[in-house]
Structure formats: C-alpha cells, structure tokens
Structure 1
Amino acid sequence: FISNLVSLLTPRRRFLPFFILEHQKNRYFQSHSQFSSSSLFLLSFSVKIFNLSSLVVRLIKPLISKRELQKIDFIIFQANPNFQNIQMGSCVSKGKEDDDSVHKVEFSGGNVHLITTKESWDEKLAEAARDGKIVIANFSATWCGPCKIVAPFYIELSEKHPSLMFLIVDVDELSDFSSSWDIKATPTFFFLKNGEQIGKLVGANKPELQKKITSIIDSVPESPQRP
C-alpha cells in the first residue's frame, strides 16, 4: 500500500534512490520500535521524505500523532545530517495541546525577531530598508527537529552580526504566507536586501549557513551611514 501510494502521488523527479530509503527505514525500525505500527511509521516517513500532495497529507494526518512526526524529523536528521531537504508536505498545523509560547522560547532570543503576522513582516522589512540592513529570514516550525537543532546557532549568529536583521517566521502561524514563498522544507533561509531576494539556503547545515552569511556580507557593499 505504501509503495503504491508513493509511486502514484510523488513526482518522480523527487524520488530518492530506493536503496537510501530502504537503508534509512531499516535503521529506524531497528532502533525506534516505539512507533505505533510499521505501516504508520512508513506512511509518516513517506510524508516527511516525499512532497506528497496536500490532499494526501490531510487524509492521513489523523492517523499519525504529532509526537511521531517530531521523532521522525529528528531521527532522519540524526541519521544523516547532510540530508537537508526534509519535506514538510503541507505545513503541518500544530496540535491543540501546543503552547504558543513554545516557539518563542525555543527559536527566538538574541537579536532574532519572531514573525507571526504579515504586518510584523512588513514592518521589519521596512525597518531594515531604512537602516540599510540585509535581512535573513528563517522559515521554521515547532515540530521540525532540524529547526530546533540549528536555532541556538541562528541566535548566536544574530548576536555576532548586529549589522544584519535576523527574522524567524512561524510557518504554522503564517502558512499561506509561507506557501507564497514556496516553502517546501524547513528550515529555509532567505537573504533579502531592500525586500529583494539575494540568496537562499535550505536545511540546517550550520557551516553552510555561516558560509552563506559571510559571502553575503562580503559581496554586498555597506550602505552609507545616515547622518
């Protein structure tokens, strides 16, 4: 059933080599027997790995607990940190049991500004344009293991580079807005100057994020200081 579902509903260009899927699946089954059933685990795994249609996600989401989805994200990332493109499917909405303050506690801090409304996004971009700052926007989610792993480093970078503006966008709070940016995986980092995209990075690769920031700073001339 799982193989047929993936074959029918996943664009072929997004397929991972089958041996990778088998290797990852077997590794997880051996060390994570706490999942409710092998079928549900495979289904959950397929949702996270492949960009299944939003209809499929809505149909099967009630079968998969939010805790299992969180574990899958973290397990995949731990097993292979270089596998950066963990798919969101459609933005998985947070459960009723979630506390709105969780995201603020885990992801904001330092000079990172949490964005939960389109208005606050517009305000911060306008502020950055006035001050001549490059914006780094991190599209993230509370249920995303890699997002949690990279969050402290992102905060550290915000303190190290006060000349940049660091934003974090909650994809659960701004699902339509995130879709307009074609966010298919979290975390996704956009680099903006005067509201225009000048760079993009998908995944929680710390060295690549640092390298990208350094490259952006070196390549964009500083704006003249206002009197």
Structure 2
Amino acid sequence: MEGGVGSRSNIEDDTTKGGLDATGLDLPLNRHGNLKSASTDENLADILLQIKSSKTPAVINYGASWCRVCNQILPAFCQLSNNFPKLSFVYADIDECPETTQHIRYTPTFHFYRDGERVDEMFGAGEERLHDRLWLHS
C-alpha cells in the first residue's frame, strides 16, 4: 500500500491499488460492493450523476489524506458500509477531485442523498453520529 496522496480509483474490485488503498490506512473490506472511491473530478462527476439518477440512498464522504479527523473516521465509514448494504457509500479525497469538491469547506463532510436529491449533510467525525445519520437515511 502507498502512503499519503496517491492515485485514486474506483475500488469495486480488490485488485485496484488506488482509491481507499492509497490512504495507507488499514481499512475493513467491503463485503457488499456498495463502497466506491472517486479518483478524479470526472470520476466523481460520473458518480454524482449516478446518484442523482438513482433511487438508491447514498452518502459521500469528502475527506483529505492529510486530515487527522478524516483518517480517524474513514475505517468506521468503511465498516459501516458493511452494516448498511442498501446504501451506496462514496469516498472522495478533495485533493484528487479539486474542481468537483471546491464547495467543500470542512473535512470530513458527509452528504446524504435520497431519491437523487441531497437531503442532509454532516460536518466532522463521530462514529455514533454518523451511524445514526446513516440509519436515518437508509
């Protein structure tokens, strides 16, 4: 695994060496295929289009590899993707997607989507708080 900022890519299969793997953190495996990582502005824009045209509830974690709080909540975010298999989980590093994430002013920021519309946001960490929001929006 690489440390620091690396190339990010969609991690739908275990052979990819970018995305969340590039954080250098020991992250839980995703068992349901509902966790993605945006690697570029174009990739994140495509994921946002999919979310907006889907009825599947989704959460996007906007974080940064240099952010201590982001690195603390990321393992819980990945673990929660296993607890909420009907939700789509997306991780987007603001440094990898600078154009698409220019509206993000605080990391981590979580955006929650239902029926293609953003319905909620949460700033900062807190595993219990995040769990409660996921339960509310699932």
The TM-score bracket by the shorter chain reads: 0.7 to 0.9
Higher RCO (Cα < 8 Å, 6 or more apart): 2
For 1:4-153, what aligned pairs fall within 5 Å after superposition?
A: 98=4, 100=6, 104-105=20-21, 106=23, 109-110=29-30, 111-128=34-51, 132-153=55-76
- Number of the residue aligned with 1:183: 104
Q: Which moved more, 1:145-154 or 1:103-112?
A: 103-112
Highest Rg: 1 or 2?
1
Give the 3 Å change call, closer, same or farther, for CA 131–186 of structure 1 in structure 2.
same
Q: Which amino acid aligns with 2:126?
A: N
Deviation at 1:121, TM superposition (A): 2.4
Q: Which amino acid aligns with 1:119?
A: E
CA distance in 2, matches of 1:129, 1:99: 28
The question of whether the paired residues in 2 share the 8 Å contact of 1:104 and 1:114 is answered with yes
TM-score computed with the length of structure 1 as normaliser: 0.46
- What is the root-mean-square deviation in Å for CA atoms of aligned residues? 2.4
Q: Which residue of 2 aligns with 1:212?
A: 133
Residue 131 to residue 177, structure 1, CA distance change in 2 (3 Å):
closer
2:38 and 2:90 in contact (8 A); partners too = yes
Question: In structure 1, what is the Cα distance between the partners aligned to 2:98 and 2:53?
Answer: 27
Q: Say which structure is richer in helix.
A: 1
Match of 1:162 among 70, 85, 95: 85
Change in 2 beyond 3 A, CA 1:134/1:145: same
CA contact (8 A) 2:58 2:112 kept: yes
- Cα gap change, 1:149 to 1:98, in 2 (>3 Å): closer
**For 2:100, what is the secondary structure of its paired residue?**
helix
Are the equivalent residues in 2 in contact too, given 1:103–1:142 (CA < 8 A)?
A: no
* Rounded Cα–Cα distance in structure 2 between residues aligned with 1:169 and 1:99: 12
The answer to whether the aligner puts 1:200 opposite 2:106 as a matched pair is: no
**Cα offset, 1:158, TM superposition:** 0.6
- Superposition misfits of 4+ residues, deviation over 6 angstroms: none
Count of residue pairs brought into register by the alignment: 119
Identical positions, percent: 25
Go from structure 1 to structure 2 and tell me whether the alpha carbon gap of 1:129 and 1:176 turns closer, same or farther (over 3 Å shift): closer
Q: Distance in 2 between matches of 1:186 and 1:99?
A: 15
The separation in 1 between residues aligned to 2:104 and 2:40, in whole angstroms, is 16
Task: Normalising by structure 2, report the TM-score.
Answer: 0.73
